[in-house]
Amino acid sequence: MREIRSAAMVVNAKSRKGQKLFKKACAAMKGLPYPVDARAVEDPRKLEPTLRDVLAAKPDLVILGGGDGTISGLVDLLVGHDVVLGVLPLGTANSFSRTLGIPRTVEGAVEVIRAGHTRRIDLGMIDNDYFANCAAMGISPQIAETVPHGLKKVLGMVGYLGWASYQFGRFRPFTLHVDTGEIKRKLKVVEVRISNGPYHGGTWLVDEASVNSGEIVVQAVRGHYKRKLAYNWLASILGLKARHHDTISFSGARVRIDTEPRLPISIDGEVLARTPVTARIAPGAIEVMAPEPPPPPPSAAVEPPPA
């Protein structure tokens, strides 16, 4: 367990629930045995300058509050610093916190920080951009590029799903080219997930992906018709084994990806790249506060063979 003597908290107060929960987080942290420099940032353009200012003071712990986009957008600044990341899941899907097993309440997340257990995890990379959880091609970036400003904040998941349904009607399948260095494939797909963790959109989708695997996973949902994507998401939400019927996964330390036509890529909900790209893994890139894993079950007693 690492000793923490000072901490800073940067909260994206424009994320859903951010403004409402900032004071709640401050109150929950009053019992921590070290000071916390708490800052609420209402203008997302000021998040990076605020975090740079925080890091200049060299805290032992930096707590980021927001959704997956906030975490991925700021995690680049933590790489190379001797600092632990704490997470307050204040977004809609909170896939990264789900991957780490962090409770999705302010009080639960603060209790994880209070417990002080840390682990070192991998980060994904799209070219030179680090990301925490998952990047995607297909309907996700199409939604992210077009969703009206503030819709998720005002209407939450219901508004977001309504807009997603509208964009689904305008969506078209595409051709994926993938090269792992050992395998080259060309296939017709309806979605591609580039994963450092199993969750995407708050749903468990990519079984093979882990923040400690040392490999990036590219999962493609195969199909010539977009109904395949709707079926895959429904099966995934319901936890059915059928969610694997139309998927194929490629993994490695580095995977080259291209599409026909060239497409945008959303990285944890924010459109930040376009194909072609190289997806890769940054092993053990950061240290995070996370629940301590349960101890392994005791080995079953082995009876000696009869005499």
For residue 225, is pLDDT > 80?
Answer: yes
Q: How many residues does the chain have?
A: 307
Bigger pLDDT: 58 or 155? 58
Average confidence score pLDDT of the chain = 87
Taking only Cα atoms into account, the Rg of the chain, rounded to an integer number of angstroms, comes to 20
pLDDT in tens, 163-215: 677 777 778 899 999 999 999 999 999 999 999 999 988 889 999 999 999 99
Q: Are the C-beta atoms of 193 and 219 separated by less than 8 Å?
A: yes
For domain 7-122, the CATH superfamily is: Probable inorganic polyphosphate/atp-NAD kinase; domain 1 (3.40.50.10330)
Place of tokens 């508004």: 159
Give the separation between CA 228 and CA 214, rounded to whole angstroms.
30
**pLDDT reported for residue 101:** 94
Report percent pLDDT > 70 for the chain: 89
For residue 300, is pLDDT > 60?
Answer: no
For residue 117, is pLDDT > 90?
Answer: yes
Give the separation between CA 134 and CA 132, rounded to whole angstroms.
7
For residue 150, is pLDDT > 70?
Answer: no
What angle do helix axes 18-28 and 106-115 make, rounded to 10 degrees? 40
Topology match between the domains 7-122 and 131-284? no
pLDDT band at 121; cut points 50, 70, 90: very high
pLDDT in tens, 243-261: 888 999 999 999 999 999 9
Count other C-beta atoms under 10 Å from residue 78's C-beta: 22
DSSP letters of the chain? ------EEEEEETTSTTHHHHHHHHHHHGGGSSS-EEEEEESSGGGHHHHHHHHHHT--SEEEEEE-HHHHHHHHHHHTTSS-EEEEEE-SSS-HHHHHHT--SSHHHHHHHHHHT-EEEEEEEEETTEEESSEEEESHHHHHHHHSPTTHHHHHHHHHHHHHHHHHHTT---EEEEEE-SS-EEEEEEEEEEEESSSEETTEE--TT--TTSSSEEEEEEE-SSTHHHHHHHHHHHTT-GGGGTTEEEEEESEEEEEEES--EEEETTEEEEESSEEEEEEEEEEEEE-PPPPPPPPPPP-PPPP-
Closest residue by Cα to residue 221 from 195, 254, 182: 195
pLDDT in tens, 67-107: 898 999 999 999 999 999 999 998 888 999 999 999 989 99
pLDDT band at 59; cut points 50, 70, 90: very high
Q: What residue type is assigned to position 239 of the chain?
A: G
Tokens of 243: 């969610």
User: What are the Cα distances from residue 157, in Å, to 65, 154, 301?
Assistant: 19, 9, 49
Would you say the pTM of this structure is higher than 0.75? yes
CATH topology for 131-284 is Tumour Suppressor Smad4 (2.60.200)
Give the separation between CA 105 and CA 180, rounded to whole angstroms.
39
- Structural domain spans, the chain: 7-122, 131-284
For residue 297, is pLDDT > 60?
Answer: no
For residue 162, is pLDDT > 90?
Answer: no
